[in-house]
Chain A
Amino acid sequence: MSLGSVMSSNIRSFQESDQVVSKDMVAIANKQRIQDFFFHRVTQAFSLLVLMALLGIIISLFVNAWPTFQKFGFHFLAHVEWDIVNEDFGAAIAIVGTVASATIALLIAVPLAFGVAVFLTETCPVWLRRPLGTSIELLAAVPSIIYGMFGLFVFAPLFADYIQVPLQKILGGMPLVGFLFGGATNGMGILAAGIVLAFMVLPFVAAVMRDVFEITPPILRESAYGLGCTTWEVVRQVVLPYTQKGVIGGIMLGLGRALGETMAVTFVIGNANRMPTSLFSPGTSIASVLANEFGEAEALHFSTLFALGFLLFVITFVVLAMAKMMILRAEKAKGN
């Protein structure tokens, strides 16, 4: 950095012209240089801790998961079996549950988050923007275990009576899609977990969308209004194309959250190690298998859970990294 180099060259010139600067001052300057050196290295070491933690996570999960990878190989990913007694494991059931519940969550949360962001940036009266924005952020702060309890005790019973039963009556007999609505209607299952997750992910996605919508230069918006566009046209044809990357980044951030969420899912997904056959059937996700079974796991079961954790970490890491890159690119477009 420029300032630092100016400083150090000053110190060097002090030492060369001993007549002007006293010995004491040189001593002080030298002492300060040593202090600065240590300060630099210490702060650097702390910031590198994060990288070391990342490496540590990947290595330790992989090492602990190795027996499972060695025994099942790539077949592990597609194998539909979870037999603790005979030590025959596959990740397919948990992967399907994780991906299905996260997909359902996004299908519900993304349109809603888009609506919230549009409301906060376009139509909301200015004096209401702050309180309403804060309340959405507070929704993001509610711990996930609270969403889980809410889902189990409040949402699931209502969901069973007012959504599952009517849906099954209307759509259950239909050809092609009827099977999606079969099974027991006790409020638990993949769809219920997806909806509870949607509530949880909604504020994260909405917050990112709102932030990138605000990046749109006012002049673009005003030009569009000047041409006679309606508010909706401005949003769809000016704001959305301009902020596309950031919006996709926000959605992927939500996806990353939804894939890795433990508590909100564990309470309502039903925790059954069977391949789900309908939207109502109970299933399981990687995170909830870990939460439920890790306590009493031994030997191969133990290392299989690490293998699942490793998979989950790699998947969410890739999703979050892509999200981050999209958001960064959107911010660069703003000219930061």
Chain B
Amino acid sequence: MKMNQQLYLKRRITSLLGLAFSMTAMAIGLAVLLWILYVLFSNGLSALDGHLLTSDTPAPGTEGGGLRNAIVGSLMIVGLTVLVATPIGILAGIYLTEYGDESKTAELTRFVTDIMLSAPSIVLGLFVYAIAVATVGNFSGYAGSLALSLIAVPVIMRTTENMLRLVPGSLREAAFALGAPRWKVSTFITLRAAKSGVMTGLLLAVARISGETAPLLFTALNNQFFSTNMGAPMANLPVVIFQFAMSPYDNWVRLAWAGALLITFTVLVLNILARVFFREKVSA
């Protein structure tokens, strides 16, 4: 039997071209990541100095300045969000795994949660404006936390659920056989067994919300001064970056880059930490 050399050559060339394309695509993806990191470091490092942490955001037209109020504001808003969203997300995740296997509501909740994960975050900001800013009469750090919780809860909920599902059923059965009530089995046995996985979800949620800008625009707004009052408008890094990057002042743009570097660095470190956590769990 004779091989059709021409056809064979054509197929091999097609395959080669296809694989070359896929390698190029991968290279482009990596190049974009490295390019963004390079840009951030080259622009942001120059603005990283002692003033960044000790002075507040400068008024228009004044020299220097730092990001102290924005950093503190961001930490407080994200911190409160974590405090609120963690118990809600974990308990809801427990419900979905331990009770919600067959019910239609649980299935619907799962579906809606997955959609909320990708819902346009600016619309969440609008919603919180309508319920927590328009009704109270002023922008506030609390409203900002509420908006971020709407993003954090679904993340924590779904990862908790997925991690609890990895816990072997025999562990639950052993606990039940010893006479443990359901709530104890869910909290002291399965949740503890899935601890590092749940931690991963928490870290990913923090990473996700620390860079979110759109939901804070109409909720926490911004504040030029240092303030720890969460009932009032609050400075926060993403909104400061947004305003400063679009401004005509050189020192504002420089501060925007410093903030961008700070946020990206935090987010990437949190992501890598989350992966390390999860890998330890899998190998253990």
A contacts, CB < 8 Å to B = 1, 3-4, 7, 32-33, 35-36, 38-40, 42-44, 46-51, 53-54, 56-57, 60-61, 63-64, 111-116, 118-120, 122-124, 132, 134-139, 141-150, 152-154, 199, 202-203, 206, 230-233, 235-236, 253, 256-257, 259-263, 267, 287, 290-291, 294-295, 305-306, 309, 312-313, 316-317, 320-321, 324
Contact = CB atoms under 8 A, between A and B. Distances in A.
Contacts of B122: 260, 262, 287, 290-291, 309, 312
A15 B122 CA distance: 57
B36 A150 contact: yes
B103 to A, nearest CB: 9
Contacts of A116: 22, 25-26, 29
Given A60-B131, A143-B267, A291-B214, A47 B115 contact: no
A126 B23 CA distance: 15
A60 B238 CA distance: 26
Interface string B221-248: 0000000000000000010011001100
Contacts of B218: 294-295
A57 B127 contact: yes
Nearest to A324: B114
Contacts of B100: 47
Interface in B125-176: 126-127, 129-131, 150, 153-154, 157, 172-173, 176
Given A51-B108, A263-B214, A40 B99 contact: yes
Contacts of A256: 118
Contacts of A231: 15, 18-19
B87 to A, nearest CB: 8
Contacts of A46: 87-88, 91-92, 95
Given A50-B153, A142-B33, A146-B263, 19 more contacts: A40-B182, A43-B99, A47-B92, A47-B96, A47-B109, A53-B116, A61-B126, A120-B26, A123-B23, A138-B268, A144-B213, A153-B43, A203-B29, A230-B15, A287-B122, A294-B126, A294-B129, A295-B217, A305-B126
B15 A49 contact: no
